[in-house]
């Protein structure tokens, strides 16, 4: 694994295209994106206003949903959820309140090592976007996972009246 370049968040037209899935959620078509993508509503660390980002779910288990900050620790959504971890998730048609918790680098490494063989094309594309050159080995993906901030979103239990 080599770090080719430090990724910069998209700007201009690229940013508008990147944010297009948010519009799909707003008009009720979010479920068309499947369960590998979620709408994250979080609080802006400076403005205090609600902010939204659509991010990929790289893992889902009994502990919650895990996502990677592809643009590193400087990504706005990542910095916002680290400042205010109470968030709202929409995955498919389901909306849940959750708490965001950063994962240790070694846990991120293992998540990436398991993700890459299950989704090889997506893993290669994700690495390229994030500025990593990989040879496709599990160890390469594990090393990438050590450099990417991962976050676990743990939903609150559903309360019944």
The rounded distance, in Å, linking the Cα atoms of 144 and 155 is 27
Q: Read out DSSP for 67-127?
A: EE-TTGGG-HHHHHHHH--EEEEEETTEEEEEEEEEPPHHHHHHHHHHHHHHSHHHHHHHH
Q: For residues 111 and 66, is the Cβ–Cβ distance under 8 A?
A: yes
| pLDDT mean over 86-97 | 93
**What burial class does residue 6 get, using C-beta atoms within 10 Å of its C-beta: 0-12 exposed, 13-18 middle, 19+ buried?**
exposed
Q: What is the pTM of this model?
A: 0.88
The rounded distance, in Å, linking the Cα atoms of 97 and 120 is 31
pLDDT at 8 over 80: no
pLDDT at 135 over 60: yes
CB atoms within 10 A of CB 120: 12
pLDDT winner (highest mean) among 26-30, 39-43, 66-70, 124-128: 39-43
CB atoms within 10 A of CB 59: 19
Question: Can you name the CATH fold of 2-155?
Answer: Pnp Oxidase; Chain A (2.30.110)
Of 82, 109, 86, nearest in space to 98 by CA: 86
């Amino acid at each position: 694994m080599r770090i080719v370049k430090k990724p910069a968040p998209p700007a201009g037209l690229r940013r508008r295209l990147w944010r297009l899935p948010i519009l799909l959620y707003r008009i009720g078509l979010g479920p068309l994106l499947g369960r590998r993508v979620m709408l994250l509503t979080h609080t802006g660390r400076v403005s205090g206003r609600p902010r939204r980002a659509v991010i990929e779910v790289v893992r889902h288990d009994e502990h919650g949903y895990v996502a990677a900050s592809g643009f590193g620790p400087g990504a706005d959504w990542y910095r916002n959820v680290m400042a205010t971890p109470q968030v709202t998730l929409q995955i498919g048609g389901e909306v849940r309140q959750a708490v965001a918790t950063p994962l240790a680098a070694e846990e991120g490494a293992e998540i990436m090592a398991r993700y890459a063989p299950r989704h090889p094309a997506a893993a290669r594309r994700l690495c390229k976007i994030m500025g990593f050159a990989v040879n496709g080995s599990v160890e390469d993906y594990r090393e990438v996972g050590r450099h990417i901030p991962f976050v676990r979103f743990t939903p609150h239990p559903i309360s019944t009246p």
